[in-house]
């Protein structure tokens, strides 16, 4: 996953959805999907496009955005659709910039602290008992099997899921949007949101801050979240993420 830096061809579907808007590619995922910022008379929108796949669907993401939007700040869905070969999601822009914008890469302590504190607020505010979605280990393993992924046997023995929250499902730094003051404005890319052990999110967030800001930021993240390290769960959920 990365910010596109080379020439990006605009898929015909994206151009039809954007109309006369100016398009700038802002993200490319690992399965060939692209996200564009569309700017025009209707303001700023984001067009998320990708090939139809078995990992996540934009329909599932739209459902999760609608549910999570009752409790936290997430993008408003404008339109969602798909056919046998491609899918798309258009959302309204949120104020702020994602946490790996150049400004925040230059201020890693502010960004990592915001990510940690924001993730704790995310977990505290979303009600587990009301959440219709799951991201628990058994569901993730079943989904991996349907996709033909062979998960190492050692990962089938998960630590006890004793501390359930509603997890983001992809708590990487770019999916946190920050205000100009350096606090959390909201969250994007909620296609895997669901109930799971809180360490399923924390482990991914910790990996991401090391990727995005350099080594040594995990302690800052955990301190801002307000939790002591749990090496067993951290290791397990990192390996599960990498395997699936």
8 token code pair: 């990006």
User: In 3-state terms, the chain is what percent helix, strand and coil (to 5)?
Assistant: 40, 25, 40
What is d(CA 105, CA 187) in angstroms, rounded to the nearest whole number?
Answer: 18
Q: How many C-beta neighbours within 10 Å does residue 118 have? A: 25
Catalytic residue among 6, 130, 170, 189: 170
At a CB cut-off of 8 Å and minimum separation 6, what does 40 contact? 18, 19, 20, 21, 22
Q: What angle do CA 48, 125, 75 make, to 5 degrees?
A: 20
Using only the alpha carbons of the chain, give its radius of gyration. Answer: 18
What is d(CA 29, CA 244) in angstroms, rounded to the nearest whole number?
Answer: 15
What is d(CA 26, CA 1) in angstroms, rounded to the nearest whole number?
Answer: 11
Annotated active-site residue 170? The verdict is yes
The count of C-alpha atoms lying within 13 angstroms of the C-alpha of 196, restricted to the half-sphere facing its C-beta, is: 29
Q: Known catalytic residues?
A: 170
């Amino acid at each position: 996953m990365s910010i596109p830096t080379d020439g990006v061809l605009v898929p015909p579907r994206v151009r039809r959805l954007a109309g006369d808007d100016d398009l700038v590619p802002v993200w490319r995922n690992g399965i060939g999907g692209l996200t564009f910022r569309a700017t025009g008379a209707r303001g700023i929108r984001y067009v998320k496009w990708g090939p139809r796949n078995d990992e996540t669907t934009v329909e599932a993401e739209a459902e999760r955005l609608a549910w999570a939007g009752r409790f936290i700040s997430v993008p408003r869905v404008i339109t969602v659709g798909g056919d046998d070969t491609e899918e798309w999601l258009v959302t309204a822009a949120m104020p702020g910039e994602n946490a790996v914008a150049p400004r925040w890469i230059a201020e890693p302590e502010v960004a990592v602290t915001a990510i940690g504190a924001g993730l704790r607020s995310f977990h505290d505010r979303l009600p587990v008992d009301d959440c219709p979605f799951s991201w628990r280990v058994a569901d993730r393993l079943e989904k991996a099997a349907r996709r033909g992924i062979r998960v190492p046997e050692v990962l089938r023995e998960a630590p006890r899921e004793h501390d359930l929250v509603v997890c983001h499902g992809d708590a990487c730094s770019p999916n946190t949007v920050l205000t100009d003051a350096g606090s959390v404005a909201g969250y994007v890319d909620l296609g895997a949101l669901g109930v799971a052990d809180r360490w399923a999110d924390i482990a991914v967030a910790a990996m991401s801050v090391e990727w995005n800001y350099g080594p040594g930021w995990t302690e800052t993240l955990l301190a801002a979240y307000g939790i002591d390290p749990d090496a067993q769960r951290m290791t397990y959920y990192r390996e599960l993420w990498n395997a699936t």
